[in-house]
Chain A
Amino acid sequence: MSKGVAITGMGIISAIGDNVAENYNALIEGRKGISRISKIDTVHKDAIMVGEIEASNQELVNQLGLPSENNYCRTAMLGAIAAKQSIADAKISDIKKYKTGLISATSVGGMDMTEKYFYEYLEDKELQKYIEGHHAGDSTQKIAEQLGIEQSLVTTISTACSSAANSIMFGARLIKSGKLDRVVVGGTDCLSKFTINGFKTLMILSDTYNTPFDENRKGLNLGEAAAFLVLESDAVVKAENKKVLAYVKGYGNANDAYHQTASSENGDGATLAMEKALKVGGLQPKDIDYINAHGTATGNNDLSEGRAIIRVFGEDLPEFSSTKAYTGHTLAAAGAIEAVYAVLALQNNVIYPNLNFKTQMKEFDITPQTVLKEKELDTVLSNSLGFGGNCSTVIFSKQA
């Protein structure tokens, strides 16, 4: 049994940078990665904006040194790049030295290839290699292979937009229970016509830069990203004299049980998730120094989440902001992206601005942090809320 769950490495690739340092610089410089879409030929290209990663698939193949006959979807490649960074950051040279698992999260999986070759599969034998890469677990299997994780616990979580928060949560529990000594946790999702059109039919895509917690918010920008964190037990940290970046202190998952896609008006699920996470962490609301909100900039999410935050924190509300205006909503990866941002906030004692905010929401008085703020931080609470009523909270801390 390990009491603490240490984070000893991180990796990330997103619309605001190809690694941890680039992401951090963009965050503190207020540089967003939202643009018109260039890599997917969609009829909606002039009606939406996205958080797109610059590298083409071929560039990602080259970066990973994959053979030309590979059948990696973009989700798998982004995930492999971020996961490899996290291993390097944790200075792990022998992955087999400790019992190491991998928990990844994805919602899209290999859908990017499926939607491209859906009918072509029937005609073109060359393309059929991608058929096996469609299901969500395939991207995770490939990431495990890239990391050299063999004969171990490897699995995939898909709970829509809360997926990666849940992979962190499950990983933390595996460390605490002693099932694993070390686990790589995170999530990966690429942009696809599937999600673009899906969110379009739900009428929650903004035609301009997304504006979390703003009265006049028009919806979300989709993004693509991958991020992974290395979690290690107290014993490994001690034996290897590891530098600990931060700890996973608390976590909670609850279901809104209200509607298949919409959040309840008062954020019941989100409230429960935050309360559970505080309880697991042995913390009071006043102990939280910064809330990295889910804040997708949809009408429904920001109202529901804001009300849940008020229910949990009342008058003791710490600064809060959403970083979705930087990266777009990266769906199953979001919880991991924002976990990296939370750890960076702790390491650097900064609170990121909630970009694009102009007008106070009329339903409540809470206002996001809109300029970069330096503040001594000991704990950061991160929310991830998704379809199917899935609500997750993870709390990161400097101390175990």
Chain B
Amino acid sequence: MKKVYIRGVGSISSQKTLDNKEFLDEITGYNDTVISVVNPVYKDYIPPAAARRMAKGVKMGVVASKVALEDAGLENVDAIITGTGMGCVVDSEKFVSAIIDNNEEFLTPTSFIQSTHNTVGGQIALGLGCKGYNFTYVHASNSFESAMLDAKMQLEFDEASSILIGGVDELGAHTVKIHRLIDHIKPVEVSPANLLDSGTKGAVFSEGANFFVLGNAKKENTYAELVAVETFNDLPEENLLEAVKKFLIDNNVLIEDIDVLIQGNNGDVVYDRYYNSLSQGIFSKTQQIYYKHLCGEFNTASSFGVWLGAKILKTQQVPDIVALNDVKTSKLETILLYNQYRGENHSFTLLRKC
């Protein structure tokens, strides 16, 4: 079996992350319950006429994937695998409301077409002229991890040599409105610094696109090795410890080998206990990092975590802003990521310095 490497990254997030020469040099603060992305100058990447017709999710996906490909020094890939929780939700909302408001009349197909979950993956393929394998996973907080797992399997068995993967989700006004009603969104504004101490239910909702070129050949500019990824549809808190131990054993890694633990804490007073049980338990002496205070919460927010881990391993630097505890590791070689959303769809990802 071949090893799998992260060879290029492209990130559009609520921080200035698109320029790969930088690494969280400047932080964009907020005091809010919903945050959007720092928009790139889309016309630098997409002809304006085409960009006007594109949903935001498509635009973000196209730009992030272009940056990732350029970063990897590739013009094209063998396959494109996308993860998205909701797809282009703005268009879904538009089409549903138009159906209701106009009693099923005077509708146009554009928003229906864009609402199809695989629109982003399809549009990226169309732009690249990539006729290869093209999948879209839509499984809540394991959408991106499913894409990563699929790509990893193909690269390990040498069924492909380079694959573009990504996680992308956009904010929709109505979706935000109704998720406030069921306490999925924080009731009062928070800032990045006090997210974890908010003491309230829900998360800061957000959006973003993090794309990666994975390959099975190590090149000069390689970020990290993607050692393993495993997903769980559910995982009771009492079984979490056993699951993480088994994951490490399966991958021949000791708890002491983990230099950095990256967790998906989102400040939800109900569900952060999963993260706390690892950070206060077996990893209490490990350097810990979090990131959702920077990128917010969305179904594919964990793709930002992978971006962060890859950048840390490549640059051998940990920005102060992501520190979750005071422990400082002597080396940055092996990173474990853990994510879940509202107690469902848990994942472990293991990255290693090349």
A→B interface (CB under 8 Å): 42-44, 102, 106-107, 109, 111, 114-115, 118-119, 121-122, 128, 131-132, 135-138, 140-141, 144, 149-160, 166, 170, 173-174, 177, 179, 193-194, 197-198, 200-202, 253-261, 268-269, 272, 386-390
Contacts and interface: CB of A to CB of B under 8 A. Distances in A.
Given A118-B97, A122-B177, A158-B118, A257 B233 contact: no
Contacts of A140: 139
A257 B131 CA distance: 6
Contact of A260 (B123, B130, B178): B123
A150 B233 CA distance: 7
Given A121-B181, A151-B232, A390-B122, A200 B107 contact: yes
Interface string B287-310: 000000000000100000000000
Contacts of A269: 131
Most buried by B among A115, A170, A202, A257: A257
Interface of B: 80, 85-87, 92, 95-97, 99-100, 103-105, 107-109, 112-113, 115-119, 121-123, 125-126, 128-140, 142-143, 146, 149-150, 153, 156-157, 174, 177-179, 181-182, 230-235, 239, 243, 299, 344-345
Contacts of B231: 153-155
7 contacts: A131-B178, A141-B234, A151-B232, A155-B146, A159-B117, A159-B118, A257-B131
Given A150-B233, A201-B109, A137 B140 contact: yes
A136 B134 contact: no
A128 B181 contact: yes
A157 B136 contact: yes
B289 to A, nearest CB: 25
B52 to A, nearest CB: 15
Contacts of A144: 233-234
B97 A389 contact: no
B131 A115 contact: no
Contact of B130 (A136, A170, A197, A257): A257
A197 B95 CA distance: 9
A257 B116 contact: no
Contacts of B128: 257
B89 to A, nearest CB: 9
Nearest to A102: B233
B104 A136 contact: no
Contacts of B129: 257
For the complex of A and B, list the 6 residue pairs with the smallest distance between their C-beta atoms, beginning with the closest.
Answer: A388-B122, A198-B112, A154-B233, A158-B117, A137-B139, A201-B109
